[in-house]
């Protein structure tokens, strides 16, 4: 159990083996034991920097789709965390490797990256607030689960900064907030018994597809 809320636990359980393929991908295990080639890690960071720009836009769309002031505030806070904190990690690590922020911004977006971010944006434009959250949740909460596990299990400090960011209290607090946002959004719109309604299967399908796209993103990271 991650402590990220009831809806996340249920969606994760409905995702099947795709979830483990994401959170225990070879890329992730390379972060854990330090075996991931530095070139692959830096390639991933550059793509993820571009990803986060679009991901922040998707969370900003959540402000538009939200139904309450509380939901708007939660989405706004997440946008700030992405732009002001998470992207700063990428800038810092890449700067140490001689990659400037201007070079990060000039990174050519890979097809796997575009497929994922545009899928999430499409969920937001074509669906309601819960559907958008279902598409956003695998990234935010999956990284939280990965970070917390690697913080416990890492056997190398090669990628300690990355692991500390996602396994640390600040990011874990963000995950708890996002999990609570998802719980509240579903119960507010559908009631406590939402898992027995037809809408649930569709939300799980959205969550599963976003998870599969995360697997593709890790794989992309292994092929600079």
What are the φ and ψ backbone dihedral angles of 4, each rounded to 5 degrees?
Answer: -100, 10
| Angle, CA 175 vertex, CA 95 and CA 108 arms, to 5° | 35
Identify the three-state secondary structure at position 8.
Answer: helix
Give first-to-last CA distance, the chain, whole Å: 34
- Considering Cα of 59, then 60, then 66, then 68, what sign does the dihedral take? positive
* CB atoms inside a 10 Å sphere around CB 172: 19
Identify the three-state secondary structure at position 110.
Answer: coil
How would you classify residue 8: left for phi > 0, otherwise alpha for psi between -120 and 50, otherwise beta?
A: alpha
Instruction: Enumerate domains of the chain plus CATH numbers.
Output: 6-221 (1.20.910.10)
Mind listing the pLDDT tens digit of every residue in the chain (224 residues)? Answer: 578 999 999 999 999 999 999 999 999 999 999 999 999 999 999 999 999 999 999 999 999 999 999 999 999 999 999 998 899 999 999 999 999 999 999 999 999 999 999 999 999 999 999 999 999 999 999 999 999 999 999 999 999 999 999 999 999 999 999 999 999 999 999 999 999 999 999 999 999 999 999 999 999 999 98
């Amino acid at each position: 159990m991650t402590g990220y809320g009831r809806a996340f636990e249920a969606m994760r359980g409905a995702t099947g083996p795709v979830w483990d393929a994401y959170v225990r991908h070879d890329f992730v295990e390379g972060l854990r034991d330090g075996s991931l080639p530095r070139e692959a890690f830096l390639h991933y960071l550059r793509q993820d920097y571009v990803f986060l720009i679009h991901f922040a836009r998707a969370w900003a769309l959540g402000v538009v789709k939200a139904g309450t002031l509380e939901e708007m505030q939660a989405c706004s806070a997440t946008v700030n965390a992405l732009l002001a904190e998470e992207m700063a990690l990428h800038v810092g690590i890449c700067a140490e490797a001689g990659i400037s922020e201007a070079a990060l911004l000039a990174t050519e977006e890979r097809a796997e990256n575009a497929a994922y971010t545009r899928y999430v944006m499409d969920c937001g434009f074509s669906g309601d607030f819960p559907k958008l959250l279902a598409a956003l949740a695998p990234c935010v909460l999956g990284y939280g689960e990965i970070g917390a596990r690697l913080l416990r299990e890492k056997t190398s400090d090669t990628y300690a900064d990355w692991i500390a960011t996602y396994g640390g209290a600040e990011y874990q607090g963000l995950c708890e907030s996002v999990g609570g946002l998802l719980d509240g959004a579903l119960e507010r719109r559908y009631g406590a018994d939402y898992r027995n309604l037809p809408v649930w299967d569709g939300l799980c399908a959205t969550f599963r597809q976003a998870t599969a796209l995360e697997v593709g993103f890790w794989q992309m990271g292994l092929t600079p």
